[in-house]
Amino acid sequence: MDDMIGRGGDRESVLQAAKTLREEVRAGRWRKRTTGMARGIVQGNLVILPAENAEDFQKFCERNPKPCPLIGMTEPGDPSVPALGDDIDLRTDLSGYRIFEHGTATREVHDISDYWQDDFVGFVLGCSYSFEEALMQDGLTMRHIENGTKAYVYLTNVPTKPAGPFRGPTIVSMRPFTPPDAIRAIEITSRFPDVHGAPIHFGDPSMIGIDDILDPYSGPPPEIRPGEVPVFWACGVTPQAVMEEAKLPFAITHNPGHMLITDRLNAEFSTA
Amino acid sequence: MDDMIGRGGDRESVLQAAKTLREEVRAGRWRKRTTGMARGIVQGNLVILPAENAEDFQKFCERNPKPCPLIGMTEPGDPSVPALGDDIDLRTDLSGYRIFEHGTATREVHDISDYWQDDFVGFVLGCSYSFEEALMQDGLTMRHIENGTKAYVYLTNVPTKPAGPFRGPTIVSMRPFTPPDAIRAIEITSRFPDVHGAPIHFGDPSMIGIDDILDPYSGPPPEIRPGEVPVFWACGVTPQAVMEEAKLPFAITHNPGHMLITDRLNAEFSTA
């Protein structure tokens, strides 16, 4: 297990931990979430669609770079993503997938080899794990990590910019910070445009359509301490709400927390 | 007057407007504030001290880069600042100065040639005008500019880090923004570390010791609209509160709003 978490450090050992974890996932021996694993490595959100919808979804990502920062894309029918790693196979390399049929998540599986079609196109989107690592390196503490829980995730009333059948509300992850820490977190995440970038809101949750901050869409009720304000980042789960709206006959996403382990370093994604 | 405001545009015309304005100030023909003039040009806050205090004050600036971003410094007795412009003379080139005696501002003058001493050292500090220009270029509207008033300036309970006799509270300028605009403003100003950088606080004013947001230390009562939060940046007036604490027998600062016009472009001060 330590081998797959990685100890950070030099580039080689970071990449080795990623490779080991990806091999374990591919072999079906690691089926849990990849949160906190392969430290230093970019993890990705996944969307797989038929080729006929690919152009629209690519446009959708371009129009909504904060929730959908596109960092890799496959050729039709080809499950490899050379831009993100030499040996990536999107059919086997995530520890959990969700199958969507006509807009409903019907199954959660650990391998999609049996579902793969010749016209499938895979999209890999940046993930907040990358900027969370940068925040921790700066000494900021995130409550959900401190408390060992899933992230606090909310549905908002902030619409995405539609493209073809793809539309829907922005989903956000929330991290509570004191104002000085929030300012620091904004500074840092603004340097990571490919992994959601700066937040989209802070403070009053009702301004983005969140009626009850203690009742997330996903994750436990958050602990927000006196003097802290909630800060909201666009989240890579947004495409899953978009799949529900688009109602394609068939689509696949990652199962939240079960991300694609790439061979790219978080450090490469900083613009600073 | 138009010649001294400048129209932005190419480097040459921006520098020419600065030169024209500085010449008018030097000749005693322009004695008003320089706010909004010589667009595109870095304006600076000023502190002048005897050489025996210079090392401590330099340390003070290094320890407090947000309120006191040091962008230029003179040799003892030499009123020129070659780093900021070929012909700058700190004795004549600001349209207003404040004389401090034993910690009290005793006079406001337009020329300090008669006060200059052989052991004086001048410190020029970055000024928020530079980042305000960058905010405006990004399409953000600042209320005090929109309303044509002075900036909203407050005394806080956030201590500066002392050096020698120099200590005291941080002074801040406040700009109200909606949360998305505040996030954008934080992103942009974080790229200008030499002109105060990112804010030090937003939201609840009482957290930094401001009891009544409608009662600034300087400037009119602010207009904060529904949905806006106050955002607070460290301010170059801080050294004047520090002079009050340090109680040096003699010191000189700029008169707020009456800044040093340099030959440096704001664009040069962006780290982006």
Cβ–Cβ gap A183/B199 under 8 Å:
yes
What is the structure's pLDDT at A80?
98
What is the structure's pLDDT at A73?
97
Chain A and chain B share a number of CB contacts under 8 A equal to: 50
* pLDDT grade for A258, boundaries at 50, 70 and 90: very high
Query: For residue range A70-97, what is the model confidence (pLDDT) as tens digits?
Result: 999 999 999 999 999 999 999 999 999 9
Judge whether residue B25 has pLDDT over 80: yes
**A82 Cβ partners below 8 Å, 6+ apart?**
A88
**A226 Cβ partners below 8 Å, 6+ apart?**
none
pLDDT (average), residues A122-143? 94
Tell me the CATH number of domain A43-126+239-267, given options 3.30.460.10, 3.20.20.140, 3.40.1640.10, 3.40.50.300.
3.40.1640.10
Query: For residue range B235-268, what is the model confidence (pLDDT) as tens digits?
Result: 999 999 999 999 999 999 999 999 999 999 998 8
Residue B153 near residue B217, CB atoms below 8 Å: yes
Amino acid found at A171: I
Q: In chain A, which residues touch B (CB < 8 A)? A: 179-180, 182-184, 186-187, 190, 198-204, 207, 227, 229
What is the structure's pLDDT at B98?
97
* pLDDT grade for B271, boundaries at 50, 70 and 90: confident
Judge whether residue B8 has pLDDT over 70: no
Tokens 């921790």 belong to A136
Q: Which superfamily, per CATH, for B129-238?
A: PSTPO5379-like domain (3.30.2040.10)
Q: How far is A66 from chain B (nearest CA, A)?
A: 13
Q: Are strands B152-159 and B104-109 parallel, antiparallel or unpaired?
A: unpaired
* pLDDT grade for A121, boundaries at 50, 70 and 90: very high
- Of A184, A201, A227, Cβ closest to residue B179: A201
- Nearest Cα residue in chain A from B193: A187
Residues of A in contact with B179 (CB under 8 A): 201-204, 207
What is the structure's pLDDT at A270?
84
For residue A50, the SS3 value is strand
Entry pTM: 0.88
CA-CA distance, B102 to B100, in Å (whole number)?
A: 7
| Tokens linked to A196 | 């959601």
Judge whether residue B5 has pLDDT over 80: no
Between residues B3 and A236, which one has the greater pLDDT? A236
From residue A87, alpha-carbon distances to A21, A22, A43 in Å are: 13, 10, 15
Sign of CA dihedral B260, B113, B121, B246: negative
Residues of B in contact with A200 (CB under 8 A): 180, 183
Q: How far is A206 from chain B (nearest CA, A)?
A: 11
* pLDDT grade for A177, boundaries at 50, 70 and 90: very high
Q: How far is A188 from chain B (nearest CA, A)?
A: 9
- Of A183, A187, A203, Cβ closest to residue B179: A203
* pLDDT grade for A243, boundaries at 50, 70 and 90: very high
Query: For residue range B121-152, what is the model confidence (pLDDT) as tens digits?
Result: 999 999 999 899 999 999 999 999 999 898 99
Q: In chain B, which residues touch A (CB < 8 A)? A: 179-180, 182-184, 186-187, 190, 198-204, 207, 227, 229
Residue A97 near residue A152, CB atoms below 8 Å: no
What is the structure's pLDDT at B242?
95
Rounded to the nearest angstrom, the gap between the alpha carbon of residue B215 and the centroid of all alpha carbons in its chain is 21
What is the structure's pLDDT at B269?
87
Q: How far is B29 from chain A (nearest CA, A)?
A: 42
| Tokens linked to A179 | 């104002």
| Tokens linked to B82 | 């070659």
What is the structure's pLDDT at A94?
98
* pLDDT grade for A188, boundaries at 50, 70 and 90: very high
Judge whether residue B45 has pLDDT over 90: yes
Q: How far is B40 from chain A (nearest CA, A)?
A: 24
Amino acid found at A90: L
What is the structure's pLDDT at B7?
60
What is the structure's pLDDT at B42?
95
Judge whether residue B1 has pLDDT over 70: no
Interface pTM (ipTM) of the complex?
0.83
- Of A179, A184, A187, Cβ closest to residue B207: A179
Rounded to the nearest angstrom, the gap between the alpha carbon of residue A19 and the centroid of all alpha carbons in its chain is 19
Residues of B in contact with A204 (CB under 8 A): 179
Element of type H or E holding A49: strand A41-50
What is the structure's pLDDT at A7?
60
Average pLDDT of chain B?
A: 94
**Domain map (residue ranges) of chain B:** 41-126+242-269, 129-238
* pLDDT grade for B92, boundaries at 50, 70 and 90: very high
CA-CA distance, B252 to B272, in Å (whole number)?
A: 34
- Of B179, B187, B200, Cβ closest to residue A180: B200
Q: Which superfamily, per CATH, for B41-126+242-269?
A: PSTPO5379-like (3.40.1640.10)
Could you tell me which CATH number the domain at A130-238 has? 3.30.2040.10
What is the structure's pLDDT at B2?
63
Residues of A in contact with B202 (CB under 8 A): 179, 182-183, 202
- Nearest Cα residue in chain A from B200: A180
Average pLDDT of chain A?
A: 94
